[in-house]
């Protein structure tokens, strides 16, 4: 039986749950109806910023459910992720993380909303960086969708991914066109849209292996036995050069957490599980103690 973790940050797993359990079951809105102190993985600012965006999108959906022409099916968007990495342990640096992801009822249109600090003149936070990282997230997400759909027979063929960002100066409001426009000109300010035909390949070979291993774990709508005879790897694999050139503020390495004792390490001293490559440990002792439970999920794709 598939269980839904509303705090899930692995986009690969969440997408498989959307097709397995339905979009409604993966709605993260409920997390933002409670007290911010209960959301221990978010600062209060991050909590209220996401809450504001989710409520704005929900209000637009209510106001436009009967509006024609539709932007997406029934003009309905559901927030399925509030912070994500493409696949578990793939986010090496701050710039690798994405924020809110909304999905339509057909699971073929996606809206990404990045949440950034206010831009400043110090060189650490700039709209140039925000533009680059937002477009990068759109390309990455479409790369993932394309790979899952073709190689693992996942869901409908993705149509487009639309991405934007907001800041405190905007009071975390969205630019109007991101919700209202059916067709977007390529030069629309603060909005980037990619389709299955024009995205920039942005996944690494090591990430594809992790994606395959998440699928191999089972417990999702994607069957490990449905792997396609041919692959679109060449269409979705990029390189480290496809990453945006951003300021040092966004290049800090993300700390890792031991999969057994849960201690945090800011450096590279944790050891990765050599089989699934999805979990880190302090050392052999923690890995040995974790194995009785981890072995249930530690699988590799054939």
Q: Would you write out the chain's pLDDT as a tens digit for each of its 302 residues?
A: 456 888 999 999 999 999 988 999 999 999 999 999 999 899 999 999 999 999 999 999 999 999 999 999 999 999 999 999 999 989 888 899 999 999 999 999 999 999 999 988 776 789 999 999 999 999 999 999 999 999 988 889 999 999 999 999 999 999 989 999 998 877 788 999 999 999 999 999 999 999 998 888 765 556 555 677 678 999 999 988 888 888 888 887 877 778 888 777 766 677 888 888 888 888 888 888 888 888 877 777 65
How far, in whole angstroms, is CA 43 from its chain's centroid? 19
Burial of residue 264 (number of CB atoms within 10 Å: 0-12, 13-18, 19+): exposed
- Residue 183's contacts (CB-CB under 8 Å, 6 or more residues apart) are none
Q: How far apart are CA 142 and CA 161, in angstroms?
A: 6
HSE-up (13 A, CA, CB side) for residue 161: 26
Domain ranges of the chain: 11-250, 256-294
Token pair in block for residue 5 = 């973790």
Helices (H) and strands (E) in the chain, counts: 7, 9
How far, in whole angstroms, is CA 276 from its chain's centroid? 20
Compute the residue count for the chain: 302
Q: What angle do CA 241, 244, 245 make, to 5 degrees?
A: 90
- Residue 300's contacts (CB-CB under 8 Å, 6 or more residues apart) are 212, 213, 216, 275, 276
Phi-psi sector, 10: left (phi>0), alpha (psi -120 to 50), beta:
beta
Sign of CA dihedral 181, 186, 188, 190: positive
Q: Cα dist. 258→83, 226, 276, 285 in Å? A: 20, 32, 15, 11
* 269 contacts 263 by C-beta, under 8 angstroms: no
Token pair in block for residue 257 = 């957490």
Q: Cα dist. 254→19, 159, 224, 238 in Å? A: 30, 32, 30, 21
């Amino acid at each position: 039986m598939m269980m839904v973790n509303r705090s899930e940050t692995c986009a690969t797993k969440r997408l498989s749950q959307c097709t397995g359990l339905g979009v409604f079951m993966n709605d993260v809105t409920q997390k933002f109806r409670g007290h911010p102190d209960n959301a221990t993985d978010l600062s209060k600012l991050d909590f209220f910023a996401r809450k504001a965006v989710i409520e704005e999108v929900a209000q637009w959906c209510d106001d436009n459910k009967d509006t024609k022409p539709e932007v997406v099916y029934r003009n309905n968007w559901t927030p399925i992720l509030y912070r994500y990495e493409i696949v578990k342990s793939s986010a090496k640096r701050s710039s690798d993380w994405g924020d809110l992801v909304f999905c339509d009822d057909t699971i073929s249109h996606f809206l990404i909303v990045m949440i950034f600090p206010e831009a400043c003149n110090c060189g650490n936070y700039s709209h140039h960086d925000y533009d680059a990282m937002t477009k990068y997230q759109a390309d990455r997400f479409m790369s993932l969708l394309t790979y899952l759909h073709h190689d693992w027979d996942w869901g409908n063929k993705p149509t487009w991914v639309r991405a934007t960002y907001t800041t405190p100066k905007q009071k975390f409001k969205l630019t109007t066109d991101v919700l209202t426009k059916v067709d977007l000109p390529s030069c629309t300010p603060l909005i980037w849209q990619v389709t299955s035909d024009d995205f920039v390949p942005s996944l690494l070979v090591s990430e594809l292996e992790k994606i395959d291993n998440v699928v191999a774990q089972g417990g999702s709508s994607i069957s490990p036995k449905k792997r396609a005879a041919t692959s679109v790897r060449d269409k979705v694999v990029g390189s480290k050069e496809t990453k945006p050139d951003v300021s040092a503020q966004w290049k800090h390495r993300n700390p890792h957490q031991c999969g057994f004792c849960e201690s945090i390490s800011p450096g590279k001293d944790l050891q990765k599980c050599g089989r699934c490559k999805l979990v880190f440990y302090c050392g052999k002792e923690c890995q040995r103690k974790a194995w009785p439970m981890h072995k249930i999920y530690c699988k590799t794709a054939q």
